[in-house]
């Protein structure tokens, strides 16, 4: 492992957890034909692996949001930069996130999706950083709780780098969160 990176979750630990979540979600959404919404771009790796472990039919779609002001301004404006292609009205919706940190992006996204009248709206995140929460967002399914550290790998980046790591590692000297 490169200097400055410390493995937090191995490939095997992630795989096992994704399998567990897939089983839970397969039961939960049996016969409901849910819409799985992957939040671009970080959650794509998780969403693809998780969806392969879901044994009941679903629709997969993508949405992209961006927050202006970045890490230095947590209250920056959020906007949708790529919207869904499917109509989620009366559908059971599951938002798939890589990490819920301050919760600000997710809070905006959930409020926006609610206006489209889904039959239900839930959240599944691989990583949860409760200690940094600013917006009180519901997390219905989660993989791992993390302390307040900056992580990369398995879709998560630092300036677009490290998304392709198969493990999740702490990035030291990462940006101030
Ligand atoms: P929020 O603070 O919950 O709004 O998180 C917004 C987004 O910031 C997440 O969906 C990630 O894309 C990114 N993010 C938050 N924490 C980390 C981290 O530790 N590493 C990499 N990206 C992160
Ligand atoms: Mg994200």
Closest residue CA from atom 10 of ligand 1: 99
How far, in Å, is the centroid of ligand 1 from the Cα of 101? Answer: 6
Please identify every residue annotated as catalytic: 101
Alpha carbon distance 127, 100 (integer Å): 6
How far, in Å, is the centroid of ligand 2 from the Cα of 21? Answer: 19
Domains of the chain by residue range: 28-148
Supply the pLDDT for residue 73: 60
Contact 47, 98 (CB under 8 A): no
Q: pLDDT tens-digit profile of 24-70?
A: 999 999 999 999 999 999 999 999 999 999 999 999 999 999 877 65
Contact 67, 78 (CB under 8 A): yes
Supply the pLDDT for residue 68: 73
Supply the pLDDT for residue 1: 79
In this prediction, the residues of the chain whose per-residue pLDDT falls under 70 are 69-76, 174-177
Task: Find the farthest-apart pair of alpha carbons in the chain and give their distance in angstroms, rounded.
Answer: 49
Closest residue CA from atom 12 of ligand 1: 42
Domain 28-148, second-level architecture: 3-Layer(aba) Sandwich (3.40)
Supply the pLDDT for residue 70: 57
Supply the pLDDT for residue 158: 96
């Amino acid at each position: 492992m490169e200097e400055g990176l410390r493995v937090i979750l191995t490939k095997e630990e992630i795989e096992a957890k994704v399998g567990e979540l897939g089983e839970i979600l397969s039961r939960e959404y049996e016969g409901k034909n849910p819409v799985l919404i992957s939040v671009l771009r970080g959650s794509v790796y998780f969403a693809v692996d998780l969806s392969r472990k879901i044994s009941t039919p679903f629709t997969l779609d993508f949405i992209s949001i961006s927050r202006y002001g970045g890490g230095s301004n947590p209250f920056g404006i959020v906007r949708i930069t790529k919207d869904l292609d499917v109509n989620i009205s009366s559908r059971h919706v599951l938002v798939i996130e890589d990490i819920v940190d301050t919760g600000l992006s997710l809070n905006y996204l959930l409020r926006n999706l609610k206006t489209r009248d889904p039959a239900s709206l839930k959240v599944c995140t691989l990583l949860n950083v409760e200690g940094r929460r600013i917006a009180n967002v519901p997390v219905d399914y989660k993989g791992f709780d993390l302390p307040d550290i900056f992580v990369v790998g398995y879709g998560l980046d630092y300036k677009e780098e490290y998304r392709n790591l198969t493990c999740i590692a702490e990035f030291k000297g990462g940006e101030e969160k």
